Amino acid sequence: MKTFPTSAVWCFGILFISVSLITTGSSEVQVVGSADRVVALAGDDIILPCSLKPSVSAEDMTVQWTRLNLKTEKVHLYLDGRNSYVDQFPSYRGRTSMFHEKLKNGNVSLKLTRVTLSDAGGYRCFIPTLMKDTTVQLFVGAVSQPVISIDGTKDWGVVLKCESGGWFPEPEMEWLDSSGTILPADGPPERHRDSEGRYTVRRHVTVDKTDTNRFTCRVQQPEINHLKETEINVSDDVFPKSQVGLIVGLSILLAVVVLTASAGVYKWRKHTEKNQTISEKIRYFFRGR
């Protein structure tokens, strides 16, 4: 009867124990991302968080970052202790990196530079060694500074135009006076969306002359928690002639006309009364004879 050599038995035993330890250890290690989405502005450098819990070294592990899309896009690959850019999706070339000095602490987060609106979406952090993964959601917005211009006059006020382009998602626009009170605009805002999905918003307001002549255009996007403001000081010379001054002038002119007419009527009546008195005296004189 043949028997296995003692050395072979030892080898199988060691292999079994090693596999058991790896399997047991793998079941305890979790791949953790972020419960909250990562919010960024176009052009920012951001970090998509992913780490091992408890903190075990990932230096010898394979880390795959992919985009969750209709067609899987390979974003970044860490393999055999180095970055591999084989089959990396073209739009990510030169923009991805990992923190090699932190791999020993289980940090396998991905740094993505110069993010664009098209980068928004879900990302998968997958560790084949552990057969575990997690997902991270990236939301990308875009903002710009509003521009104010004078767009003519209306009645006794000045028409101001505020325009701001390159926003995503669609922003809200409003006009305020110097005390922060929202002003009623001249109709709803005008909106336009370009081929990249960015919004341009435009809104007019007619303002009357105030003590400060200072007005503010505010554009904000609550979803990405961003706000931009531009202020304008309108010169007094831009406003049409004051309505109050015109009314006062007309009132003075009317008063002069009325006074002149009244004086004329008074003199005419006095003159008439005087003539009547003389006529009566003459008639009385001739009757007496």
- Where are the domains positioned within the chain? 29-141, 147-238
What is the DSSP secondary structure assignment for residue 119, as one 8-state letter? G
Comparing 29-141 with 147-238, is the CATH topology the same?
Answer: yes
CATH architecture assigned to 147-238: Sandwich (2.60)
> What burial class does residue 141 get, using C-beta atoms within 10 Å of its C-beta: 0-12 exposed, 13-18 middle, 19+ buried?
buried
Report how far apart the first and last C-alpha atoms of the chain are (Å, whole number): 188
Give percent helix, percent strand, percent coil of the chain, each to the nearest 5.
Answer: 30, 40, 30
pLDDT, one tens digit per residue, over 1-54 is 444 454 444 344 434 334 433 444 556 899 999 999 999 999 999 999 999 999
Do residues 63 and 130 lie in contact, with contact meaning Cβ atoms separated by under 8 Å?
Answer: no
pLDDT of residue 12: 42
For residue range 125-175, what is the model confidence (pLDDT) as tens digits?
999 989 999 999 999 999 999 999 999 999 889 999 999 999 999 999 999
Q: How is domain 29-141 classified at the CATH fold level?
A: Immunoglobulin-like (2.60.40)
Kindly report each contact of residues 97-105 with a partner whose C-beta sits within 8 Å and lies 24 or more positions away, as own/partner: 98/63, 103/57, 103/58, 103/59, 103/78, 104/57, 104/58, 104/59, 105/55, 105/57
Q: Is pLDDT of 244 > 70?
A: no
Q: Which residues contact 137 (CB under 8 A, 6 or more apart)?
A: 37, 38, 121, 122, 123
- CB burial of 163-172 (b: ≥16 within 10 Å; e: otherwise) equals bbeebbebbe
Are 95 and 88 within 8 A, CB to CB? no
Per-residue pLDDT tens digits for 76-101: 999 999 999 989 999 999 999 999 99
